[in-house]
Amino acid sequence: MKKITVSALVAALFVLFQACSEKIETDLTKTAFIPKPVSIAATGTAFEIKKSTVIYVQEGSEQLLHTAGILAAEIGKVTGQTRVQTVSEAPSKGIYLAIQENDDLGKEGYELNIGKKLITITGTNAAGCFYGVQTLLQTLPVNTSLEEPLYLATGTVRDYPEYGYRGAMLDVARHFFTLEEVKQYIDFLAMYKMNALHLHLSDDQGWRIEIKSWPKLTEIGAQTEVGGGEGGFYTQEQYKELVQYAADRQIMIVPEIDMPGHTNAALASYAELNCDGKARDLYTGTEVGFSTLCTDKEVTYEFIDDVLRELAALTPGEYIHIGGDESHVTAHDDYVYFVNRVQKIVEKYGKKVIGWDEIANAELVDDATVQFWADVKNTTMGVEKGAKVLMSPAARAYLDMQYDSTSQYGLHWAGYIEVDHGYNWDPATLVEGVTKENIIGIEAPLWSETVSNIDEAEYLVFPRLPGYAEIGWTAPAQRNWDEYKTRLAKHGKRFEALGIDYYKSALVPWEE
């Protein structure tokens, strides 16, 4: 008895000692979580991660096992290796992942409980568990090795998102991004609990997805990009690999075929898609609004039917994006006729329509979503027609907008977006007539006229992406820039550890 008391005392003193030596944080509320969780309660002690710490997974879910694998890989970077084991009951120590119904937490919610001996992550579904894991990963110190003991502050995080759609877009058409680069982008989204990656797969400068029934789209249309580089495309096999990689991280891919404008690459590949029957030259500039599919030729709709059928078959997610923006050389009536018909094709293949806000000029099918980027009138018209709204206001959420006049990449047609300006807005109050009930969520698009690879993209994406993730996840009443910037400051080291070339905004008190 006496012995136990002494060893307990020694252990307690040790934790206290560790806590006092500045390395160890035992106050969970001090962790710089992004996005900010709904609630954090600290219990003031510490969990020690060891080489022998096992990750236990409730049996029966493939997705949970994947999530555990991702967690093990991350913890393994610190411990050397970490074992994963399925179990039928909760263990008494280690790390435990399980799915558990919990009405209070909604469908993507989770509870992360860090005890002295046991860390439990329970999600209301597999996505919830994945988000709990991301939260746990943010409690790990950056750049540690198990030379030193590794302690995590104890306590409980209960959490769920404000919006169901939390996304980013990558324009792989203006510049092609390789499979590895897109996976890296997916990793960025996953770290911040985003769940949708919109891929802009076609534009004037390139067609990036293999369509078996129209092979010249890639034989010809994929062969270049802005600036005249060699372009590229994803085979259907590669695309499936991306879809799976994203799904393993609870991210849905939303594929976009932009039409009837932004179609020069297709018009260069197939002469018959042009009203004059003449193939266009490939295009490597950055103008917009000069191309259109021929809206009164039947072959146009046969083409779209084939493309969307093949694309829908590659898409487990619920949406197909039909673009619809900036069709400046399509007559209004032709545009409306075209968008009406194309929506029906999307429906026929069992998918929901998303389009840029211009599509609200058409009759919208049930369940259509209008992506607000520029035009308030279009967007409110969409709402009046019963559509949902995805919020991507260019002046706030465009990742390709420059931070200021000194930014090395990016454009500024919608203004400069410093990190605070990108963060400080509420999707539910930004546009009069568009309220929370109308909004499915937020998306931050990265157009790639000025960035040709992931390293260049990182400069525009970071540090703004975590802010967009927080807007999508955290209730507006819980968000404020002055507090957020101190949390963001602590993520600078994480970016560096990941080799991310971020913009060191002077507005953020980065930690040295």
Q: With respect to ligand TNX, which residue has the nearer C-beta, 427 or 492?
A: 427
Q: With respect to ligand TNX, which residue has the nearer C-beta, 321 or 491?
A: 321
> Which residues are known to be catalytic?
326
Q: Find, among 279, 296, 283, the residue nearest to 202 by Cα.
A: 283
Q: Which two tokens stand for residue 253?
A: 């891919």
Which residue(s) pair with 167 in the sheet? 196, 443
Q: Are 328 and 289 contacting, i.e. CB atoms less than 8 angstroms apart? A: yes
Q: With respect to ligand TNX, which residue has the nearer C-beta, 193 or 208?
A: 208
Q: Is 118 left (phi over 0), alpha (psi -120 to 50) or beta?
A: beta
Q: Minimum Å distance from CB 255 to ligand TNX?
A: 15
Q: Minimum Å distance from CB 330 to ligand TNX?
A: 14
Q: Minimum Å distance from CB 452 to ligand TNX?
A: 14
Could you give the 3-state DSSP secondary structure of residue 267? helix
323-358 burial, b for 16+ CB within 10 Å, e for fewer?
A: bbbbbeebeeebbbbbbeebbebbbeeebbbbbbbb
Q: By CB under 6 A, is residue 325 in contact with ligand TNX?
A: yes
Residue 19: CA count within 13 A, CB half-sphere: 15
Which amino acid, one-letter code, is at 199?
L
Q: By CB under 6 A, is residue 507 in contact with ligand TNX?
A: no
Give the x-and-dash track for 340-369 against ligand TNX (CB under 6 A): ----------------x-------------
Q: Which two tokens stand for residue 348?
A: 């026929």
Q: By CB under 6 A, is residue 496 in contact with ligand TNX?
A: no
**Alpha carbon distance 343, 358 (integer Å):** 13
Direct distance between the N- and C-terminal alpha carbons of the chain, in angstroms, rounded to an integer: 48
Q: Using CB under 6 A, which residues numbered 438 to 457 contact ligand TNX?
A: 447, 449
Determine which residue in the list 181, 326, 375, 496 makes contact with ligand TNX, applying CB under 6 A.
326
H helices of 385-436, in order, are 394-397, 419-423
Q: Find, among 364, 285, 287, the residue nearest to 322 by Cα.
A: 364
Q: Minimum Å distance from CB 31 to ligand TNX?
A: 35
Q: With respect to ligand TNX, which residue has the nearer C-beta, 274 or 327?
A: 327
Q: How many residues does the chain have?
A: 512
Q: With respect to ligand TNX, which residue has the nearer C-beta, 171 or 470?
A: 171
Q: Minimum Å distance from CB 326 to ligand TNX?
A: 5
Q: Using CB under 6 A, which residues numbered 55 to 84 contact ligand TNX?
A: none
Between 126-139 and 62-79, two packed helices, what is the crossing angle to 10 degrees?
10
Determine which residue in the list 288, 365, 376, 489 makes contact with ligand TNX, applying CB under 6 A.
288
Q: Minimum Å distance from CB 416 to ligand TNX?
A: 13
Q: Minimum Å distance from CB 88 to ligand TNX?
A: 50
In three state form, how does the secondary structure of 459-496 look?
Answer: HHHCCHHHHHHHHHHCCHHHCCHHHHHHHHHHHHHHHH
**Alpha carbon distance 95, 437 (integer Å):** 38
Phi, psi dihedral angles at 194 (to 5 degrees) = -80, 150
Q: Minimum Å distance from CB 182 to ligand TNX?
A: 18
Q: Using CB under 6 A, which residues numbered 372 to 431 contact ligand TNX?
A: 373, 398, 400, 411
Q: Using CB under 6 A, which residues numbered 160 to 219 contact ligand TNX?
A: none
Q: With respect to ligand TNX, which residue has the nearer C-beta, 138 or 327?
A: 327
Q: With respect to ligand TNX, which residue has the nearer C-beta, 158 or 175?
A: 175
- Residues that contact ligand TNX, how many (by CB under 6 A): 10
Which residues, including other chains, have CB under 8 Å from residue 105's CB and lie 6 or more apart? 111, 124, 128, 158, 159, 160
Q: With respect to ligand TNX, which residue has the nearer C-beta, 136 or 444?
A: 444
* Residues of this chain that bind ligand TNX (CB under 6 A): 288, 325-326, 356, 373, 398, 400, 411, 447, 449
